């Protein structure tokens, strides 16, 4: 494969969700950009910039919601160099740093978030989030006996991936259908979910169904925690941009849709949970109330308007 084909292959895997999860698509994009520039053979900085921009755009256009992709690409392609070789080295270093920091962030989130879980607690999680699983896994490894209730997360059933991971960690797990969230909520001590986007006003954009779970957790007085690396926060929302909610194909929900004449299926992949239903956001920089999202964007992401 040429370097263009390899890059488009990664972009295709992100689009089809063979590579999925906000953090994993960000690190896959960083790795793809690194691999791409390593094979670029040009001494012209202008040509290097042009090819890097093509690669960045190809990756960016795969999934519209997750800001992790935007932040990763922005951080990796940020450099001030006067020649192509120096630019290449900067991109490679940026990518390595991004991937390492991202792994460390997930570990740190696990350490911080797990302190909020007590021995004997039941934790509910939705979809498949490495950050949320880090919180749960760290609590388990520290010796706390916990039970996890995991939702299926239709239509893509990321919950099945989650129960497999929890099972391998040796954690007691129960699987429920998404619509059973309220009926089990009174048994739950803590809800932990990941994030695709945290907006400047502290709202959460995450897998479809998250907002319903947050609403019923609020009604049942069950704490609701978001586990999110700081690169899941959206600088674009600080500049007034709305988060685009990805609408995926009808067939993901109903394979036999073509047999109906008048039926349409709507398949939004994400929903918005207002900050009123979020107790805390666990980041690698600490546990913060959603109202502090603005500070994370300004100070951690170094965003200037």
Among the options 127, 216, 279, 282, which is catalytic?
A: 127
Nearer to ligand RI2, 22 or 84 (CB): 22
Q: How far is the CB of 24 from ligand RI2 (least distance, A)?
A: 6
- The values of phi and psi at residue 2, to 5°, are -75, 170
State which of residues 51, 114, 129, 199 lies at the interface with ligand RI2 (CB under 6 A). Answer: 129
Q: Is 10 a binder of ligand RI2 (CB under 6 A)?
A: no
Our answer to whether residue 172 is catalytic in this structure is no
Q: Is 125 a binder of ligand RI2 (CB under 6 A)?
A: no
Q: Is 34 a binder of ligand RI2 (CB under 6 A)?
A: no
Region label for 45, one of left (φ > 0), alpha (ψ between -120 and 50) or beta (otherwise): alpha
Nearer to ligand RI2, 37 or 130 (CB): 130
Stretch that binds ligand RI2, among 14-22, 52-60, 166-174, 274-282 (CB under 6 A): 14-22
Stretch that binds ligand RI2, among 17-25, 44-52, 251-259, 287-295 (CB under 6 A): 17-25
Q: Is 22 a binder of ligand RI2 (CB under 6 A)?
A: yes
Our answer to whether residue 282 is catalytic in this structure is no
State which of residues 117, 269, 297, 301 lies at the interface with ligand RI2 (CB under 6 A). Answer: 269
Give, as ranges, the residues between 138 and 167 that touch ligand RI2 (CB under 6 A).
Answer: 158
Name the residues that contact ligand RI2, by CB under 6 A.
20-24, 127, 129-131, 158, 193-196, 206-207, 269
**Active site amino acids:** 127, 196
């Amino acid at each position: 494969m040429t370097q263009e084909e390899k890059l488009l292959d990664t972009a295709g895997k992100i689009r089809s969700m063979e590579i999925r999860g906000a953090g994993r698509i960000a690190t896959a994009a960083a790795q793809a950009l690194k691999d791409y520039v390593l094979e670029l053979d040009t001494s012209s900085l202008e040509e290097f910039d042009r090819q890097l921009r093509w690669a960045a755009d190809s990756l960016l256009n795969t999934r519209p919601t997750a800001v992790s992709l935007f932040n990763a690409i922005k951080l990796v392609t940020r450099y001030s160099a006067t020649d192509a070789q120096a630019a290449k080295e900067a991109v490679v270093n940026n990518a390595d740093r991004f991937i390492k920091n991202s792994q460390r962030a997930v570990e740190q989130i696990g350490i911080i978030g797990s302190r909020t879980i007590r021995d004997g607690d039941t934790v509910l999680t939705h979809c498949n989030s490495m950050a949320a699983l880090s919180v749960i896994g760290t609590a388990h490894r520290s010796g706390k006996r916990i039970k996890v209730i995991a939702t299926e997360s239709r239509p893509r059933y990321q919950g099945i991936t989650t129960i497999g991971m929890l099972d391998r960690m040796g954690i007691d797990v129960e699987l429920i259908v998404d619509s059973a969230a309220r009926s089990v909520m009174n048994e739950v001590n803590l809800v932990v979910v990941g994030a695709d986007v945290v907006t400047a006003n502290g709202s959460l954009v995450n897998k479809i169904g998250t907002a319903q779970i947050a609403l019923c957790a609020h009604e049942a007085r069950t704490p609701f925690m978001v586990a999110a690396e700081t690169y899941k926060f959206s600088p674009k929302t600080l500049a007034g941009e709305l988060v685009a909610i990805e609408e995926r194909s009808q067939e993901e929900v109903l394979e036999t849709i073509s047999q109906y004449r008048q039926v349409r299926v709507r398949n939004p992949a994400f929903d918005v949970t207002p900050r009123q239903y979020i107790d805390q956001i666990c980041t690698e920089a600490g546990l913060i109330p959603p109202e502090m999202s603005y500070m994370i964007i300004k100070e951690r992401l170094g965003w200037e308007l």
